Amino acid sequence: MSAVVKIPTSLQGLTGGSSIVEVPAGRLGEVITNLTDTYPELGERLLDENGNLRRFVNVFVAEDDIRFLEGLETKVSPGQVVTILPAVAGG
Amino acid sequence: MSLSYQDLVNEAKLKIPEVDPSQLLNLAGSVTILDVRESDEFDQGAIETARLVPRGLLESVIGMHVDDLDEKIILYCAGGARSALAAQSLKQMGYTNVSSLRGGFGRWKTDGHPWKVPEGLSKDQRGRYSRHILLPEVGEEGQIRLLESKVLIVGAGGLGSPAALYLAAAGVGTIGIVDFDVVDATNLQRQILHNIDRVGQSKVESARETLAALNPDVKIVTYDERLSAENVLQILSGYEVVLDGGDNFPTRYLVNDASVRLRIPVVHGSIFRFEGQVTVFEPYAGPCYRCQYPEPPPPELAPSCAEAGVLGVLPGVIGTLQAMEILKILLEIGDTLSGRLLTYDGLSQEFRTFRIRRDPTCPACSDESHPPAIVEYDQFCTPAGVVARAG
């Protein structure tokens, strides 16, 4: 069973318009790699040159911010939802 | 056999206990005291800790004021007759511990016990805010609190419009509004403070006209200027809560740094196309905006509403949620969104809540003894992640 990654509207242009992408579960780093293998442009947006998540992106596994879990080492179980949430400024 | 009014009172007094003013004085603080007189009598003076529940409403609203049938309740009126009848009625409803004040408020005063003239609402205000006053969580006391409170709204746009309308309607006494822009026809699909006749007019003036027509109780303070490092501390000072309804990252970081420095909670709302986010940033008690978003996204990933579009009702949803959080903060009721990020997706009609935390390395709020300095942040020149420290 795969993990479910929710893609924010502002990044859906890089996933062919998909708001939900299913990838194999595993460590979050693997989930992101699986995601960016399919959508390389998304990888450039999410990760810096060292492979770390860029700081304007918040990633949540279920309801928790991965910065306060184990970062890219956080385990993502099958069926769990990974949410990518960038800041938006509109008002 | 018919009974006179006095017969009814006498009969009631036989069936319910009465307490003397001196007994009530000793009990004050440990009992619920309800004043069952009419509001105009209450306005002339009342026992300090008493709540006004007029006799005519007593049976229908008692459940909102007392949820335990065994709670100790003392009722009083002017002379002890109406409260005896009222106590008898509550007893019939199952309240087991109801007494009436012997001699009523008249004897209480004669005996020299403390009372006060309530900082009351006018008759018009009692009518206008009656649906608030009926809520035990608000009541007259809460409404007075709202009328005394001061809220600053940053941005008289999509988020600021519904929030300002609801806060003014709720009777928030002072509403400051900052916006340097003028009303444009493209605003009107969502910015419901304004209208077609105001195109070209300053947004804050348009807001003032709309809000003044809605509720004359509210003092509107307008700031027809761009929020900047030079004016932000001065403008925010004195407000109890700030609503962030800005439309750009530099302003949001500026509002954050100033609010951390001044220790003013910020109710954050932000929108993009069909999606929105709401949270409360409570300085040093919960995360701040920089804890959550240490850096803004590059401009190409964060187009404005003008570039990316927004469904008109979306800011209505998010701005209204912000107004709800503000009222909760002012009334000190419920659980605010401090430490939680609420997201809304209009297309899937889905709300989700995420846990957010203070960042121990946050450049703005990690060190309480060194609040952030206020510097102009420019998307292209000064990265938001770089925060100067105040001396």
- Contact: B296, A89; criterion CB under 8 Å: yes
- Tell me which chain B residues have a C-beta less than 8 angstroms from the C-beta of A7: none
- What one-letter code names the amino acid at B185? A
The residues pairing with B219 across neighbouring beta strands, listed in sequence order, are: B174
Q: Is the ipTM of this complex over 0.90?
A: yes
Q: Does B186 touch chain A (CB under 8 A)?
A: no
Q: Does B308 touch chain A (CB under 8 A)?
A: yes
Q: CA B351, B353, B359: angle at the middle one, nearest 5?
A: 145
Query: Hey, of B249, B272, B347, which one would you mutate to test binding to chain A, going by the most A CBs within 10 A of its CB?
Result: B272
Half-sphere exposure of B95 (CA within 13 A, CB side): 27
Q: Which tokens in the block code for residue B100?
A: 């009436």
Query: What pLDDT score does B377 carry?
Result: 74
- Contact: A56, B355; criterion CB under 8 Å: no
- What one-letter code names the amino acid at B306? A
Whether residue A14 is predicted with pLDDT greater than 60 in this model: the reply is yes
Query: What pLDDT score does B211 carry?
Result: 98
Whether residue A12 is predicted with pLDDT greater than 50 in this model: the reply is yes
Which of helix, strand or coil describes residue B223?
Answer: strand
- Tell me which chain A residues have a C-beta less than 8 angstroms from the C-beta of B272: 8-10, 88, 90
* Pair type for strands A20-24 and B18-19: unpaired
Smallest Cβ distance to B294: which of A55, A68, A83? A55
- Contact: A87, B292; criterion CB under 8 Å: yes
Smallest Cβ distance to A90: which of B247, B296, B355? B247
Distance CA B391, CA B373 (A): 8
Smallest Cβ distance to B355: which of A10, A57, A65? A65
Per-residue pLDDT 10s for chain B (391 aa) are 799 999 999 999 999 999 999 999 999 789 999 999 998 899 889 999 999 999 999 999 899 889 899 999 999 999 999 999 999 999 999 999 999 999 999 999 999 999 998 778 988 999 999 999 999 999 999 999 999 999 999 999 999 999 999 999 999 999 999 999 999 999 999 999 999 999 999 999 999 999 999 999 999 999 999 999 999 999 999 999 999 999 999 999 999 999 999 999 999 999 999 999 999 999 999 999 999 998 888 777 666 667 788 999 999 999 999 999 999 999 999 999 999 999 999 999 999 999 999 999 999 999 999 999 898 776 544 444 445 444 3
Q: Does B271 touch chain A (CB under 8 A)?
A: yes
B164 φ, ψ (degrees, to nearest 5): -60, -40
- Contact: B355, A45; criterion CB under 8 Å: no
- Contact: B301, A11; criterion CB under 8 Å: yes
- What one-letter code names the amino acid at B331? L
* Pair type for strands B174-178 and B150-154: parallel
Q: Which tokens in the block code for residue B243?
A: 């609503």
Residues 6+ apart with CB under 8 A from B348: none
Strands (E), A1-91: 2-6, 20-24, 26-27, 57-61, 64-65, 75-76, 81-86
- Contact: A87, B271; criterion CB under 8 Å: no
Q: Pick the residue with more confidence: A1 or B241?
A: B241
| Nearest residue of A to residue B361, measured between CA atoms | A67
Distance CA B108, CA B24 (A): 9
The DSSP output letter for A12 is G
Q: Does B252 touch chain A (CB under 8 A)?
A: yes
The residues pairing with A35 across neighbouring beta strands, listed in sequence order, are: none
Distance CA B43, CA B47 (A): 11
Residues 6+ apart with CB under 8 A from B129: B121, B143, B171
Q: Does B277 touch chain A (CB under 8 A)?
A: yes
- Segment (H or E) for B211: helix B203-214
pTM assigned to the model: 0.80
Shortest Cα–Cα distance, A54 to chain B (Å): 9
- Contact: B310, A88; criterion CB under 8 Å: no
Whether residue A40 is predicted with pLDDT greater than 50 in this model: the reply is yes
3-state DSSP helix/strand/coil % of chain B, to nearest 5: 40, 20, 45
| Chain A interface, Cβ < 8 Å to B | 8-11, 45, 54-58, 60, 63-65, 67-68, 83, 85-91
Q: Per-residue pLDDT averaged across A3-16, rounded?
A: 92
- Segment (H or E) for B342: strand B340-345
